[in-house]
Chains A and B, each alone.
Chain A
Amino acid sequence: MKEDGFSPMLHANIERMKLLMGYSSDFIVRELILPGNKKTVIFYLDGMVDKKELQDSVISALLDRTPVEPITLQELKDHVLDAGDVCIIHTVEAALEQIFSGSLFIMQDGIVDGLSVALPGWNDRAITESKTQSVVRGPQDSFTETLRTNTTLVRRRVKDTRIRLISLKVGKMTKTDVAIMYMDGLADEKQLQKLISRLRACQQDRVLEGEYLEEILHEKKQSTIFPTIYNTDRPDTIAAGIMEGKVALFVDGTPFVMLTPALFVDFIQSAEDYYQRPIYSNLIRILRYVALMICLLAPSVYIALTTFHQDMLPTQLLLSLAAQREGVPLPAFIEAFLMEVTFEILREAGIRMPRTIGQAVSIVGTIVIGQAAVEASIVSAAMVIIVSITAISSFVIPSYAMSFPIRIIRFLFMALSASFGVYGLTIGIIVLVVHLCHLHSFGIAYMSPSAPFNASDQNDAIFRNPFWKSTQGQTKQGKSS
């Protein structure tokens, strides 16, 4: 029924539109009598269109026209309307879609087609600093919730005709605009087609955030807790990714843009690595890998050493640890587990709670964990140190998406070393490495360019070469397994 065209009777059309919209209060039907006694009606959603533009370039233009002889829709579009994006609409379906994306829909009596005028006028959030991946030196802008703003932020950075943008609408209810941006000739055509066809096949009702799509884009065959799609709110990272032959996926309504394929190293690298001298960023990267290891292994190594391999500790350290553990009623594993869970609770609370009470939570958190627990001999001081260094290290991982798997695996490793000592931990690490090497993201091995090793791709794998030494733009692509 919605696929139908319009009827020549204007009042029938009005009635039909109103009925379809369920007489919603924000659905405005503005009736005009144009010079020449031509009945005209404008449909729009209140709040979705720019009122001032509506007044100036549509209503005034229609009413103030001096030649009074009736004209066709084509003429109206070409000569009268003062707006940029105007097109002729034939079906009710298309008309509604336009109205939902912030357009006016104009109909005249006796004509079965209508005109849509795009005058989106809702309120946008301004472009602000990146909240999740801030840098000291480097561009400070970040994506917003509006798709067009986001694609523009990237386009502005890469002035190349090879940039392609494909738009889709996904979600049966939300009809969310999705844009795929890539560099023609650099992106893997096969994977791109796969991506598009998966998006087209998407049967979901709603797409409110990128994650709704990320889940359908994941390889069905491989189940992993590691992210295989990168997301960021930094336009410079996306621009760099596109120039490396990756494919960016913009979803309207979210300031996070996804990038595929994503490799393990991408989650460990920060945009700022490229905005500082190579020697600085390489040292920082070493630090980051060390922090990653601490975050993953510190509690489990501590448990293994203190409950299985006391002989591996220096005597003085052992005596000092033993002194601290004196009077602690719980086994080291339970102690570590309790502390880690407490920290995860604090961390979650810190993210969810209103900003104003953050201070209170952090004070209670530090006093409860740091002071009282040690003084009451419920946990040992060494354990507080281990948990704190683990917690701080987990914030060094630049990508929030990567910190989840690391935190989960940390708990698994703790259990392994509590039951099997360093032996169990070693087995755990071996299984982890095997698993990581087994993964791939959109046809590219997850651990590349380290495994499989590719000497020519080492420019920016673990260490970054100076720009004059590396051919940026050719890296990290064409490594299909």
Chain B
Amino acid sequence: MKSMKRLCIVISILLTITMFLTGCWNRRELNTISVVLAMGIDWVDGQYQLSVQVSDPSQMSTNRSVSQRSPAIVFSERAPSIFEALRKITTKASRRMYLSHMRLVVISEKIAERGIRSPLDFLFRDHEVRPDFYMAIAKDCDAKDILSFVTPMEVLPALDLYKSLKVSETAWAPTAAVNVVDMMQWVTKDGIEPVLTGITLIGNRDKGKKMDNVNQPASMAEYKYTGIGVLLDDRIVGWLNESDSKGYSYITGKVHSTVGHIPCPGSPKDYFVAEVYKSQVKIKPFIRNGKPIIRVEMKNEDNVGEYHCQGDLGDEKFFNQLQQAARQQQKQLLQRSISHVQQKYGADIFGFGEAFHQKYPRQWRTWKKNWPEIFKNDLKVEIVVTSKINRTGKLMNPIHKEP
């Protein structure tokens, strides 16, 4: 009985302690919350226009017949701040917005031009927001348009957008899946500037917002991730084209796999396609004569994905030439990408400054203040590419009639 008494006391003490931990006191049933999957932030008439896309659970369940109701619901509201707008949405919706499962935040270009730091403060700060969502900039359209758009593959547009960004980053490369942790680091660190991938709508936008959009095999309107937006501090200064975006992905080590065509050695009209399946990049900062020099060493492993050259793939000499061509091409890609960014934007999105910061902390202190200038004018870049072509797929030479 004594031990029982003690046990009772221990339990009651522990239970009493929990009373003071009111932070955990947030019980809510699943059917009292709306799961926000995507958020869009626009700038309209001097106010933030916040749009959220939530799922309609009754449309997600499998045992209900498919009705005419949309599986996703978009609410939007205007207020001087994001948080206010979010709470104001409850005047239009029956459930509390639940932000932990937000997958994507779309920011309109207008806001990106004004600076993304202040609108994102709420998302960095709020305890409920999990820092694993992706961010993108709505290019040539409103963030709300992208959220209220009907996508063909997934029932929920937010998940479609999220997955597409994830897959395209790993399999195609010229997009940047930027999550909020990256963004926080980029904005706070010196010597590295943020990037954000762009998203746009193509086709008939108004029809794209109706369920009809997916009632035929080819959608009337589609979304598309396009290129990488360069930000200086927290303001967008311009967009990289596709090949520069790819160069960016290579240099920042984000390429898991990509493909690219390369002119044939000897006959520049023909080309072959290399599939990069492994890419390693080392960034080595040097100081020569007081000038910063960056050495980018890239080691790629490629396969031949398509082949349209005249030469014999089985010939070792020719094969080496192919390899050489691939290196040349990749080197050019990187070079162009870096010089474009240097000359056009002067925003160190590659994080070269950060590399100097780590290796030459003392020198960095003197450069820190005018690093964008130094990056733009003084920084020399050396590029060493060691690509290897390993396999040629199931074929050696293209299939053709015997001569």
Contact = CB atoms under 8 A, between A and B. Distances in A.
Contact of A326 (B1, B58, B128): B58
Given A306-B30, A325-B29, A331-B29, A315 B103 contact: yes
Contacts of B24: 308, 420-421, 423
Contacts of B58: 323, 326-327
Contacts of B59: 323
Interface of B: 1-4, 7, 10-11, 14-15, 18, 21, 24, 26-31, 33, 35, 37, 55, 57-63, 98, 100-101, 103, 128, 130, 156, 159
B3 A221 contact: yes
Contact of B33 (A310, A418, A427, A435): A310
A316 B163 CA distance: 12
* Among A323, A325, A381, A418: residue with most chain B CB under 10 A: A323
Contact of A307 (B7, B29, B37, B57): B29
Q: Is the interface of B mostly helix, strand, loop or mixed?
A: mixed
B43 to A, nearest CB: 28
A315 B35 CA distance: 9
Contacts of B57: 319, 322-323, 325-326
A325 B98 CA distance: 16
A32 interface: no
A420 B26 CA distance: 9
Interface of A: 221-223, 306-308, 310-311, 315-316, 318-328, 331-332, 375, 381, 418-421, 423-424, 427, 431, 434-435, 438
A307 B98 CA distance: 12
Contacts of B15: 420, 427
Nearest to B33: A310
Contacts of B26: 308
Given A332-B29, A332-B30, A421-B24, A319 B4 contact: no
Nearest to A423: B24
Given A319-B60, A322-B35, A323-B58, A427 B101 contact: no
B27 A307 contact: yes
A431 B10 CA distance: 8
B30 A420 contact: no
Contacts of B35: 310, 315, 318-319, 322
B126 to A, nearest CB: 12
Contacts of B31: 322, 325-328
Nearest to A219: B3
A346 to B, nearest CB: 24
* Among A221, A319, A327: residue with most chain B CB under 10 A: A319
A322 B30 contact: yes
Given A324-B61, A438-B3, A311 B29 contact: no
Given A315-B159, A332-B30, A431-B10, A323 B18 contact: no
A230 B59 CA distance: 53
A259 B59 CA distance: 58
A319 B18 contact: no
Nearest to B162: A315
Contacts of B7: 431, 435
A198 to B, nearest CB: 18
B156 to A, nearest CB: 7
B55 A322 contact: yes
Nearest to A329: B31
Contacts of A421: 24, 27
Contacts of B33: 310, 322
A426 B57 CA distance: 31
A53 to B, nearest CB: 53
A311 B28 CA distance: 12
Given A311-B100, A315-B103, A418-B27, 15 more contacts: A221-B1, A223-B1, A306-B29, A307-B27, A307-B29, A310-B98, A311-B101, A315-B101, A316-B159, A319-B156, A322-B35, A323-B60, A325-B30, A424-B18, A434-B10
A223 B2 CA distance: 8
B48 to A, nearest CB: 24
A57 B24 CA distance: 82
Contacts of B10: 431, 434
Contacts of B28: 307-308, 310
A310 B130 CA distance: 11
Contacts of B63: 375, 381
A308 B2 CA distance: 35
* Among B14, B57, B159: residue with most chain A CB under 10 A: B57
Nearest to B19: A420
A435 B63 CA distance: 45
A394 B156 CA distance: 39
A414 to B, nearest CB: 14
B165 to A, nearest CB: 14
B61 A427 contact: no
25 contacts: A221-B3, A222-B3, A223-B3, A223-B4, A311-B101, A315-B101, A316-B159, A319-B35, A319-B60, A319-B156, A320-B60, A322-B31, A322-B57, A323-B58, A323-B59, A323-B60, A326-B57, A332-B29, A332-B30, A419-B27, A420-B18, A423-B24, A424-B18, A431-B11, A438-B3
A319 to B, nearest CB: 6
A93 to B, nearest CB: 39
Nearest to B59: A323
A311 B98 CA distance: 9
Contacts of A222: 3
* Among A315, A318, A327, A332: residue with most chain B CB under 10 A: A315
* The 9 A-B residue pairs with the shortest CB-CB distance in the complex, in nearest-first order: A311-B100, A323-B61, A323-B60, A223-B4, A326-B57, A322-B57, A325-B30, A323-B57, A322-B30
